[in-house]
Structure formats: structure tokens, C-alpha cells
Amino acid sequence: MSIRQGFKMASKSIFSNKVRSFLTMLGIIIGVAAVVIMVSIVQGSNQKMKDYYESMGTNKISVSASLYNGQDMTQELYDYCLSLKNLVIGVTPNGSYFGTVKYLTKSTESNQQYGAPTTYLGSDLYSLCNNYKLREGRDISWLDVKNYNQVVVIGSQLKTFLFDYKDPIGEKITIGGQRFEVIGVYEAKGTDQNWFLDYMCVVPYTMNRLLNKQNMLSEFTVKAKSAEATTESITRLTGFLTGRINNDNGYFNVYTDNTWIQQSDQQNKMMSLVLGGIAGISLLVGGIGIMNIMLVTVRERTREIGIRKAIGGTRHSILIQFLIEAAVICGTGGILGILLGYLGTLTAGKLILDIVLFPSIPMTIGAFCFSVILGISFGMYPAVKASGLQPVEALRAD
């Protein structure tokens, strides 16, 4: 018997008992769909987090450093980081001020959706360190920082709210009661989920006294040249701060977002395995259903098997026929499960992550192959039992 004939006979057997075949496939359909949906959601969540970190900027090092005597370390840290030319390409304070921003009669107090924007206190390298690009105007310069110039660069969301389609360059806005000249606008880099990345503005960090009524800044962002340089930069910065700060006179902490990304990857891989394992249990249950129905099929077709053996059918051909039938049932169930999984992934991605999410091609192929292998594995015992029947005994069966 050829493989083609085996598939024809398997299809005929399946379609002759449509309801029973569908109920047999149901466990495989649900199991495959569950695996596809669960793993896709975890992968989508992981990708969304990666996109967020990338929008914030890669190879970033966050530094917290403070002296108990109130001395500001901004200039020391700035000079030290710029001395690491082979490792570091930028450094900026990352202070903030939360207060009302106004332009003429328009105030962020009236923005019920977003509220007050974040005003960041940064250096001339703030946009480089935080992955912002200018859309129009100019960026903050070192002279702006040094000369205490009251200038501001605004994000695209804040620009839209305050100015609509009007050119904001050269206009004066009020931040915390202080007037600042708009010198630039950043390109949009946020989405509906992380709108706050663009609902912001940046002023020179020397405006800290004017806005927050203090000089000291304790949060900084350092931009390394590469992922490899990030590790060495952390070591150098830790050494520098250890020589400057101890438990008696202050505190410091140095860490990188790359670490959070790696930890997130590990957690999501573990979650994928756990959720895939849970969904895989339903596949095993479906496999047991396949074995059960194939044993029933062997009993029902005992006389057919006896006739085939009596006219020269080999044990191998009967074994192959029943294995093909089990594989076709599981393969068909796998295809239906994948289709259901795609539909479920699209729905769950929109409801849970608010994104258009599709299962990955390798996972889809893997789910189908696993369903076929499952059918062959659980169909092996019934197939061996069928091929081992003696012709005389088989022909006597009712």
C-alpha cells in the first residue's frame, strides 16, 4: 500500500464518522490553540517591553548619588564621565519638576486626560542620553546650562496641546510661574500606551534652584557607546563613586536597563515554558483520546483487517495505514487549532496588550509538527495491535 492510498483510506475513515472524528480532534484543537495563544501573549508582552526600553534608549546607565552635606555632585560626575571617552558618549542629570505649564490662556491644568507634564532638568546631552531627536528648532546647549538661560525644548504631545498647529519656536511658556523661551521640539517617540514620553519638556539643569528651590541633583543618566562598554562603564563609575562616597557621608547606586531587559527575557522564557507546559497537558489528554478512538476503530474493522491479511496484506502496510490515520486526525486537529489560535491571539493581543499580535511562524510550525508526532505516538499502540491480528481470528470476529 502506498502512502497516497493510506491518506485516501484515512480520509475516508474520518469523513465516514464526522462527529466522532471532530470530537476526537477537539482535545488537539483546544491544546494547540491554547499553546499558540499563551506563548504568543508572552512573546508579545516581552516585545512590547523591549520596544519600550528601546524608545527610552539602549546602553543607558542610571546613577543615583547623593552626599548628606547637600553638596551637588553634578559637575564632578559630568567631568569624570566625559573623561571616559572610549566608553561614554553622554551624561546628564535626570532631575524633574512636576508643575503646571501655561501658554497664554492655555494651561495643562485643563488637560483632564494627561494632567501636568514632567519637566526634566537636563544637560546639553539630555536628548542623546534619552534617545530624543529634534524635529524643529535647536537643542539645549552647554552655554544655556552655564549661563542659566531660561530656555525649554518640548515634546510633541505637549507642543500639540499648547500650540496646536502654531509654530512654537521663540514663544514664551510659563513653567511653575517662571517664563521660558521655546527653542526646540522633539520628534514623537511614544505611543498611546507610553504617551508620557512625549508629554514632557526639558530645561537646563541649572534651573533646579528656580523650579525646585534647591541646587542638589541626585539622579543621572549615562550613555555608554555599546552594550560591551556598558559593563566596563558601570565598573568604572562604581569605583569612582566608591572613592567619593561612603556609608558615612552619602549613598550611591549604579545600574543599567540592560539588566532589566535580560531579567525580563529570562522571566518571559520561564513563563512561556510554564504556560506551554500547562497547555501541553490538554494535548496529552487529546492524545489519549486519539489512542482510545483508534482502539475502537481497530475493533470495528477487525474483519476488514482479517480480509486484507488473507489476500496478502502485510503487517507493515496495516501498521502504516493506522499510523497515517492517527496522524491525519491529529494533523487536521492541529491545523484547526492553529487557526483558532491565530483568532484567539489577535483578540487577546488587542484586549490585553492593545496591539495587533500574530503568532510566530516557527511556533506555528512547531505546534503543527508536535500535533502530528502526538498522533503517531499515541496511535502506535492501536496500529501495532491491528497489524498483529491473526487472519483466522480476525475473520471470526463479529
pLDDT (tens digit, 9 = 90+) per residue, 14-61? Answer: 777 778 778 888 888 888 888 888 888 888 877 777 666 655 556 888
Position with higher pLDDT, 139 vs 194 = 139
Please report the pLDDT score of residue 178 as a whole number: 93
**Which residues, including other chains, have CB under 8 Å from residue 311's CB and lie 6 or more apart?**
none
Contact 290, 26 (CB under 8 A): no
Most confident by average pLDDT, 26-30, 152-156, 196-200, 227-231: 152-156
Instruction: Please tell me the distance from the alpha carbon of residue 185 to that of residue 139, in angstroms, as a whole number.
Output: 8
Under 8 Å between Cβ of 20 and 293: yes
Q: How confident is the model at residue 262 (pLDDT cuts 50, 70, 90)?
A: low
Average of per-residue pLDDT values in the chain: 83
pLDDT band at 73 (very low <50, low <70, confident <90, very high): confident
* β-sheet bridge partners, residue 256: 61
pLDDT over 90 at 174, yes or no: yes
Query: Do the beta carbons of residue 36 and residue 363 sit within 8 Å?
Result: yes
- Please state, in angstroms and rounded to a whole number, the distance separating the CA atoms of residues 334 and 311: 36
- pTM of structure: 0.61
The Cα–Cα gap between 125 and 123 comes to 5
Q: Examine the pLDDT at 308 and tell me if it is beyond 80.
A: no
C-alpha cell at position 318: 496495516
Please tell me which residue, 50 or 288, carries the higher pLDDT value. Answer: 288
The neighbouring-strand residues paired with 307 are: none
Least confident of 3-12, 119-128, 220-229, 244-253: 3-12
Residues 223 and 142: beta-carbon distance below 8 Å: no
Mean pLDDT of all residues in 75-81: 88
For residue 175, what pLDDT is reported?
A: 94
Burial-class residue 323 by CB neighbours within 10 Å (0-12, 13-18, 19+). buried
Range among 68-82, 94-108, 346-360 rated most confident: 94-108
75-91 CB burial, b ≥16 within 10 A, e <16: eebbebbeebeebbbbb
CB-based contacts of 343: which residues, under 8 Å, 6+ apart? none
CB atoms within 10 A of CB 350: 12
